[in-house]
Structure 1
Amino acid sequence: MKLLTLSALAGVLISQAAARAVGSDGKLVVGYWMSDDMSTLDFSKVTHINYAFSTIQNGVPSSPATLKKLVPAAHAADTKVLLSIGGWGGGNGFTPSFNNSAGRAKFVAATKKLIDDTGIDGVDIDWEYPGEPGACGQPYALSDTKNFLTVLKQLRAAIGEEKLITAATATHPFFDESGKPSKDISAFAKVFDWINLMSYDLNGIWGLTTGPNAPMIKGLGGVKASVVQGVTDWHKAGMPIDQIVVGTPFYGHNMTSIKSMAKNAGTHEYDPVQGGNTGHNCNGGGFSTETGWQDIIPYLYKNRTTAIPPWVRKFDTITRTPWLTNSETNEFISYDDPISLAEKVDYVVCMDLLGVMTWELSLDNGELLPVLNQISEKAAKHGKSKHGKHGHDSSKCIPTGPVTH
């Protein structure tokens, strides 16, 4: 296909944006994106693109060349662009740069210059993770969170209130100097515009059993982390509800159980896994076992609720997530589909959260992003909840029972 000129592309995107409803009510659809091929991007269905990744070299975040074409095209479609700094395996520069005044000043000045030079709308700090181990060999210190807050305050003062500062976070608050999740992160709420909860990569080969990649709530096994746990813990520690964005995956995790799971009940997605371990996992969120939605759908019929043999599809009505198992090889895949994503959107709307985020846009075949895009229409119908003195009660927003979508 003949490539469009930038001006022609901008014209197309403007026409797409003219009828866009997403974001009109203040709800966000944030999409992480790694490619330099913009032909698959539909700016009309996202409010913000987090371009991944910039890494810190000698205190200075790198400036990807793709921004030169991405920023004007996105802006023509009324979509904002943030540069995501860090990522799994890309966080080696955080602790050394932030643990001294000279390093912090250098980072702030370089980041401000990067924003000014590229025209991006802000930065997304994807530090995995302040005060605790991330990728093996990545430095960290118990003073990380304190230093992080200091540099964020300096960055906010340097770039002003109009530019955005966001963060991709674990489902628990940043670790404090005791080596545990902070009980009070309210000071961060004053410098962040919002946080993107990475409420995925929660179970995988780095554990002892199979389990859900992105559970709505904890199921019959696996770790305690979940969408609801993340929202609850961050809000309890001082992050306002309307500054929390819930992350969703456009991919699943593969692993192989030691026995057949084909006859298991949907809620029984926890069987011993081959190669499981409880040690710190050098491969992070198990990216070596990641399977994009585009690679999952060949195992499903067009209705997406029935698997093509020898695959068997189940739905866990507790975690509200689908999973696949191969009756011949015992391979297991936990993932999200249009049904589970729609329920997460409903939860976000019910809780009056700020929006939804996804990793990663290029893993979609065009079926998943429109589901997230429904958030504005659903929010308009829902209206603003009156939570009263009891606050935001997740229990009233968690779907139960059979799937209704």
Structure 2
Amino acid sequence: MRFNFILTAAGLALSMAAEVLGKPVVIGYYPSWKRAQMAGVDYSKYTHVNLAFGIPTSSGTFSFDGDWFLPQTVTDIHSKGAKALLSVGGWTGSNFFSNIVKNAGSRSTMISSMVNYVKTNNLDGIDIDWEYPGRLGNNCNVYDITNDTPNFLTFLKELRAAFDSNFGSRQKLITLAVRIEPFDTPSGYASDVSEFAKVVDYANLMQYDINGGWNADTGPNAPFNFESGKGLQASFVSAIDAWTGSGWPANQLTAGIAFYGRSTIAKGDMTKDPNNQYQPQESVVPLGDSEDASWYDACAGSTANSGVWMWKHLRDQGVLPSTSTAAAPWVRQWDPVSQTPWLFNPSTKQFISYDDPQSLKIKVDYAASKGLAGTMIWSMNMDYNGELMNVIQSWQTGGPSTSTPTTPTSSTTKTTNTMPATSTKTTTATSSVPQPSTTSTGGNTGGGPVAGGSCSSTGSYQCADTTGRNPAYFLCLYGKWMTQSCGSGTACYQSGSSVSCGWPS
């Protein structure tokens, strides 16, 4: 049996990023309303902690409901070597940004408030989570598609000048939480955001909440790739492409990771079409995990459920007895395009899209291969025994993965109806991880690669031999072949340009 784990250029990133960019940033959001659940979080696993949220008023001031515990929390964060920032805005806190940034007086008020708050609370900077410049987020928000983006740039330049004047040049951080495409303008998203990057330290991509209960069909919360014609045509990959293609430096961009999934109710039995996670769904979102509850939406004037399932509760409520196995009646599926798992309960017709260690590994490796600064996590309180954080930390340890991940199509603890690991759907994805090439063979008089020999295509792979029993393979990095190895007990297989690790025949 062979697990068709194709080696890609993303695998080189773990060593390359450590060498080129140094220690990756790991930015975690600390929801103030979940303080009780933060007790077991290890701040030393993070480089930055964004305390959420400061809520702006129409005048430009803001308030934070965690003022009472902030001093001790900042001290605790600093004691673990991480930086502490206040995040201002959020989904329900973005009502007034548009009006604030268009007026010089209210901009000045907000900037003064931020400077004073940073001073008073010994913070390392401010994170701004405006959802969204030039686009409606929450229905209560004011937005101006023509002027929000240029006004936001003016505000950020003034904030940077104030921070530098009060604290010294680039001594305090300005970070942004941003959507999957750059800021909106009347002609589409901004084609050049390079001026923003000159005054901002990091933009944190929110590469999740891409599909959900607001859609007509079920779909992946955080797809690695999107499927043509199905769901929102956006993904983890397309978000990175959109921002870097618009002039945002990759080394000032972090990849957004959701430590949660979203649930909806399908209209039919999704197990009858198990290779399709895009199926009609009900408009009412069910309750999610044990921490979910109906919440009142002041804008809509009604109550609703979030449908959120934190990773820790998928695990501790028994839905997932292991990281890759579902408990009956839940059935786990793996989608080869979105590169994410999903769950379905035939009894309740509940669907859950989420990320697990397998899907996060794909994202982390790819982000590193693109030269990103690191990762951003929503949110710090949602992990289970460090299972997801261990994957995030793999970026820091360097080197390709030495494990061989399985790619089950479906699984439960009481059934064996799994499809072959090599099966795939006939689909067309608009973006993908770069595929391996074997065109570079320089440096070996026998025609094959040797360690330290020259090669011409960074990201190329080649097995050390064709026996199907040797775990060694070669990776082309910066013009030189490097020796790598498949996981314990597995061997390298090569068929044309396809290189994979699997159990020896």
| TM-score by shorter chain over 0.5 | yes
Whole-angstrom CA distance in 2 between matches of 1:90 and 1:240: 28
Larger Rg: 2
Secondary structure at the counterpart of residue 364 of structure 2: helix
Pairwise CA distance, 1:303: 2.9
2:27 to 8, 12, 30: 30
Classify the secondary structure of the residue corresponding to 1:84.
Answer: strand
Partners of 1:153 and 1:191 within 8 A in 2 = yes
Of all paired residues, the percent bearing the same amino acid is 37
Shift of 1:300: 3.9
1:251-400 matched pairs, under 5 angstroms:
251-266=260-275, 268-275=276-283, 288-297=306-315, 298-366=317-385, 367-378=387-398, 395-396=433-434
Q: TM-score, normalised by structure 2?
A: 0.68
Which residue of the partner structure matches residue 139 of structure 2?
136
How many residues align? The count is 365
| Residues 82-116 of structure 1, C-alpha deviations (whole Å, 9 max, x = no match) | 11100001111212211111011111111111111
- What is the CA–CA distance in structure 2 between the aligned matches of 1:336 and 1:217, rounded to whole Å? 13
Q: Which amino acid aligns with 1:239?
A: W
Measure the CA separation in 1 of the matches of 2:309 and 2:46: 23
Aligned to 2:221: 213
**Inter-CA distance 301–55: structure 2 relative to 1 (3 Å threshold):** closer
Tell me whether 1:115 sits opposite 2:114 in the alignment.
no
In 2, Cα distance between equivalents of 1:233 and 1:287: 32
Q: Aligned to 1:368, what secondary structure does the other structure show?
A: helix
Unmatched 5+ stretches in structure 2: 1-17, 165-169, 286-298, 402-430, 437-497
Shift of 1:247: 0.4
Residues 303 and 289 of structure 1, relative CA distance in 2, 3 Å threshold: closer
CA distance in 1, matches of 2:223, 2:500: 16
More strand by share: 2
2:190 maps to 1:152 = no
Moved more, 365-374 or 292-301: 292-301
3-state SS in 2 of match to 1:332: strand
Unpaired segments ≥5 residues, structure 1? 1-20, 382-392
Q: Which segment drifts farther, 290-299 or 79-88? A: 290-299
State the 1:205 CA deviation: 1.1
1:48-87 matches, cutoff 5 A:
48-57=48-57, 58-63=59-64, 64-65=66-67, 66-87=69-90
Partners of 1:312 and 1:54 lie apart in 2 by 40
Alignment partners' CA distance in 1, 2:500 and 2:332: 15
> RMSD in angstroms over aligned alpha carbons?
2.7
Query: Where does residue 106 of structure 2 map in the other structure?
Result: 103
Q: Separation in 1 of the partners of 2:372 and 2:323?
A: 28
Deviations 1:185-234 (CA, angstroms, capped at 9, x unpaired): 11111111011100000001111100000000102521111111100001
Q: Deviations over 1:41-99 (max 9, x none)?
A: 20121111111100112311224313211111111111011111000011112122111
| Contact kept in structure 2, 1:351 and 1:394, CA below 8 Å | no
Distance 1:259 1:356, change over 3 A: same
Provide the C-alpha distance between the structure 2 equivalents of 1:164 and 1:67, rounded to a whole number of angstroms. Answer: 18
More divergent stretch after superposition (126-135 vs 62-71) = 62-71
1:222 aligns with 2:231: yes
Q: Which residue number corresponds to residue 188 of structure 2?
A: 180
Q: Is the 8 A contact 1:55 1:93 kept in 2?
A: no
TM-superposed deviation, 1:36: 2.9
Code of the aligned partner of 1:191 = V
What residue identity is the alignment partner of 1:376?
Answer: Q
Write the letter of the residue equivalent to 2:379: E
Give the one of 169, 191, 208 matched to 1:200. 208
